Structure 1
Amino acid sequence: MSSTEKWSDLAARVMSAVAMAVVAVAGIWTGGYVFHVLVALICGVMVWEMVGMLRPGQSRAQLLLGGTTGAAVLLSVYLPVGFALPLLLAPALVGFGYLERNRTIYMTFTVMILMSGFGMIKVRDEMGVNWMLWLVLVVVVTDVVGYFAGRAFGGPKFWPAVSPKKTWSGTAAGWIGAAIVGLVFSANTGVGYQLIGISIAVSMASQMGDIAESGMKRKMGVKDSSNLIPGHGGLMDRFDGMLGASVFLLIIGQVIGFPPGVG
């Protein structure tokens, strides 16, 4: 691959990334209902994109299942947890009536999307702006550092059959970037240095989310989840890492107590 080809999509990626960053920061900073609606919309659009990959040409199924997912995420925030849990699983089962094939893929990813949205809202509502920014920064730095390091250094591919552009150099660089984020937050929040290890683990979980989505796209024979975002593809292509990271954090938060040394 030539130097020009390596960086050919950089301008579009940067402009789109800046626009997404502005919307994300505004939503996180505002919090409350604004953030809840933003997360619900993102979750709904991701399911809309996924159904479009799994069952092309079925716009009615896309709208129904995407809308059901977004509504479930939003309503779950305002219900007691006991009532929220079945609501968060319901859209994964509703899709069985609309998909003749790939039902397991749909069910697995829909549950991940729903739990991820619920987890992000819980982090912002219960832990505040700083920890939501930490989570986002770990995922973004993992992706950005991995992107530049992978193209700059190249080297052995991570899993060429599924994600041909992902390299071990980019993957490891993502862990280092996440560790630096953890170090900065641990030094400025009063929590222990365990946060460095947790940040690396969350980085790994975000990469697993990325790989899982790449595997689904490879199986369905598509390059991007949609063409909504210039230079990036679809929302699912950008939030696949957040799926893995936020679900992982939702789980370990119940086990180890989070933030470490505080919760």
Structure 2
Amino acid sequence: MSVKSKWTDLQPRILSAVVMLLVGGGAIWAGGLAFHLLVSVVAGLMVWELARMLGPKETGSPIWLGLLGGAVTFGVVFLPPDARLPVLIAPIIVGLSSFKQGRLIWSAYMALILLACYSALALRGGAGLFWIGWLAAVVVMSDVAGYFAGRLLGGPKFWPKVSPKKTWSGTVAGWIGAAFVGYWFFENSRADESLILISVITAFAAQMGDIAESAIKRKYGVKDSSNLIPGHGGFLDRFDGFLGALLLVLIAGQFLAFLPEVR
């Protein structure tokens, strides 16, 4: 691969990233309805992309499934806690009849999307700006560090059968970048030093989210989940790492004090 071809997607990636940073950062900062709406719209678009990739029986199915996913994401936080999980599961069951094959993938990845988006709303609404900002910084830094290290250093592939472009150099660089983010948040808050290790674990979860989506695209012969974001592909391509990280935070938060207390 020539040097020029290696970086052909850099300019559109940067421009798209700036737009996403402004929109996403503004919604995270504002919280409330702005963040709630943004997460719901992104959830609906990711569900639409997933349904398209799996080859539904009817061409209109991805649209109504995406609308359903977005609506459930928006409404679930207003329900009593005991009713939330059944409501999040309902769109998965409803969508099963839309596919002749790939039902297991639909069920697993649809659950990932909805639970992760619920986690984002719960994290911003319950834990506040600090923790959602930390998680976003960890995922973005690990992705950026991995992208540049992988392109510049190359080397052995991390999991060539599933994600041919992901290298060990990029993976480790992502962990290092996440550790720096954790250290910065530790130094500038009252969180304890365990946040550095937690940041690395969260970066690994984000990388697993990326690999899971890569496996689906490879199975169905799809390069990108869509072309909605120039230089990045689709919303699943861009936010797959967030899905893995958010699911980790949601599950770990149910069983142990995963995030250090910030006083």
TM-score by length of 2: 0.97
**Could you tell me whether the CA contact under 8 Å between 1:48 and 1:63 is conserved in 2?**
yes
**Could you tell me whether the CA contact under 8 Å between 1:52 and 1:58 is conserved in 2?**
no
SS in 2 for 1:165: strand
Aligned equivalent of 1:110? 110
1:176-226: per-residue Cα shift (whole Å, max 9, x none)?
A: 000010011111111111001110000000000000000000000010000
What CA distance in whole angstroms lies between the structure 2 residues aligned with 1:111 and 1:173?
29
Aligned equivalent of 1:142? 142
Aligned equivalent of 2:202? 202
Shift of 1:255: 2.4
The runs of 5 or more residues in structure 1 that have no matched partner are none
Aligned equivalent of 1:248? 248
What CA distance in whole angstroms lies between the structure 2 residues aligned with 1:33 and 1:79?
16
Is 2:84 the partner of 1:84?
A: yes
What CA distance in whole angstroms lies between the structure 2 residues aligned with 1:133 and 1:183?
14
Structure 1 residues 57 and 143: alpha-carbon distance in aligned structure 2, compared to 1, 3 A threshold: farther
Which structure 2 residues correspond to residues 122-137 of structure 1 after superposition, within 5 A? 122-137=122-137
Shift of 1:260: 1.1
Structure 1 residues 254 and 262: alpha-carbon distance in aligned structure 2, compared to 1, 3 A threshold: farther
Shift of 1:161: 2.0
What CA distance in whole angstroms lies between the structure 2 residues aligned with 1:257 and 1:189?
17
What CA distance in whole angstroms lies between the structure 2 residues aligned with 1:209 and 1:56?
23
Aligned equivalent of 1:192? 192
Instruction: Tell me which stretches of 4 or more aligned residues in structure 1 moved more than 4 Å.
Output: none
Aligned equivalent of 1:173? 173
Shift of 1:56: 5.9
Which structure 2 residues correspond to residues 193-232 of structure 1 after superposition, within 5 A? 193-232=193-232
**Could you tell me whether the CA contact under 8 Å between 1:205 and 1:245 is conserved in 2?**
yes
What CA distance in whole angstroms lies between the structure 1 residues aligned with 2:77 and 2:34?
13
Shift of 1:68: 0.8
**Could you tell me whether the CA contact under 8 Å between 2:57 and 2:99 is conserved in 1?**
no
Task: Tell me the C-alpha RMSD between the 2 structures.
Answer: 1.2
Which structure 2 residues correspond to residues 40-119 of structure 1 after superposition, within 5 A? 40-55=40-55, 58-119=58-119
The runs of 5 or more residues in structure 2 that have no matched partner are none
Aligned equivalent of 1:8? 8
Aligned equivalent of 2:154? 154
Is 2:22 the partner of 1:30?
A: no
**Could you tell me whether the CA contact under 8 Å between 2:57 and 2:100 is conserved in 1?**
no
TM-score by length of 1: 0.97
**Could you tell me whether the CA contact under 8 Å between 2:56 and 2:99 is conserved in 1?**
no
The sequence identity of aligned pairs, in percent, is 51
Shift of 1:57: 8.1
Q: Paired residues, what number?
A: 263
What CA distance in whole angstroms lies between the structure 1 residues aligned with 2:97 and 2:166?
36
Aligned equivalent of 1:234? 234
Structure 1 residues 56 and 226: alpha-carbon distance in aligned structure 2, compared to 1, 3 A threshold: farther
What CA distance in whole angstroms lies between the structure 1 residues aligned with 2:48 and 2:211?
20
1:31-55: per-residue Cα shift (whole Å, max 9, x none)?
A: 1111111101111100100111111
What CA distance in whole angstroms lies between the structure 2 residues aligned with 1:93 and 1:202?
29
Shift of 1:258: 4.2
